[in-house]
Structure 1
Amino acid sequence: MTEAQAIALATAEEPPQRPLTHDLFRDVLSALGVSLRAVNIVALRDGIYFADLVFSNGVEVSARPSDSIALALRTGARIYASEEVVQEAGVIIPDDQEDEVEKFREFLDQITPEDFGRAG
């Protein structure tokens, strides 16, 4: 399963039949009494993003941002990006487009795979 699918499943209302790797990691953290406090997207070098997982016991672990985001969505941890990453990769949305972006977000929150049907 790709990280994109893992992220999408974290936002789905119906969990998978068996826990995925990110679900397992969340459950192990809980069993050990440690929580994921934050995900920091810390760098972008040669088109590759880098992230750190920040745990409640003060430990920080380097991780792929895709895995970090999938885990953050499962644990409710906050996701941050460094100023350098935002400066290099951020997209400025003009004020007049903000309403359209918000409408699109609302649309995405409501749509289901069944809304697309099948070609036939």
Structure 2
Amino acid sequence: MEVEMKIRGLMMDPVTNMPIVILKDVGSDTVLPIWVGVYEANAIALEIEKVTTPRPMTHDLLKNVLLGMEAQVEKVVVTELREDTFYAVIWVTRNGSPVSIDSRPSDALALALRVDCPIYVEDEVLKTSKQAAQISDRVTADDLRKWLEGLGDDDLGRYKM
């Protein structure tokens, strides 16, 4: 079963200094942190803040290609968490036929923001993520999840490179 999520914000992991995209369940306080690369976080941040660039970024190019091919992005789904790596699929419809495209979650999320399509996470990913946090040697993952769930709007601020 898929759980609809929204991008709640971006923040820096204070331990690893890596960007984290915070997804939040639209129907509850459940959050899912996904660590991403700096370039992907920048692409997401630019779209969140509606910053236009003089030339198309890679995700803008992908959007333009899909529009040029008269394809519609229906949704993106974070489908799996395996060995601390998240996997995602972009669902596109063209000429009435659905097509699934394998993707990194960060790229799928950046595209979802640009085409304004829904974001989903498989409920098994949410369960696996919680279990991984519980059995992990790093207490910080579980602590981070609890801390993220308690964040307010003022706590996230703007993402800074």
What is the TM-score with the length of structure 1 in the denominator?
0.76
Q: 5 Å matches for 1:47-86?
A: 47-57=84-94, 58-86=98-126
Q: CA–CA distance in 2 between the matches of 1:65 and 1:13? A: 20
Identical-residue share of aligned pairs (%):
31
Q: Is the 8 A contact 2:86 2:104 kept in 1?
A: yes
Q: CA–CA distance in 1 between the matches of 2:111 and 2:105? A: 10
Please give the secondary structure, in 2, of the residue aligned with 1:59.
Answer: strand
Larger Rg: 1
Q: CA–CA distance in 1 between the matches of 2:72 and 2:52? A: 21
Given the superposition, is the C-alpha separation of residues 2 and 103 from structure 1 closer, same or farther in structure 2, using an over 3 Å criterion?
A: closer
Alignment pair present for 1:103 and 2:153: yes
- Which has the larger displacement, 41-50 or 82-91? 82-91
**How far off is 1:39 after superposition?**
0.5
Cross-structure match for 1:35: 72
Alignment pair present for 1:88 and 2:124: no
RMSD: 2.4
Given the superposition, is the C-alpha separation of residues 23 and 47 from structure 1 closer, same or farther in structure 2, using an over 3 Å criterion?
A: same
Given the superposition, is the C-alpha separation of residues 47 and 112 from structure 1 closer, same or farther in structure 2, using an over 3 Å criterion?
A: closer
- Unaligned stretches of 5+ residues in structure 1: 114-120
- Unaligned stretches of 5+ residues in structure 2: 1-37, 131-141
Given the superposition, is the C-alpha separation of residues 112 and 42 from structure 1 closer, same or farther in structure 2, using an over 3 Å criterion?
A: closer
What is the TM-score with the length of structure 2 in the denominator?
0.58
Q: Which has the higher helix share?
A: 1
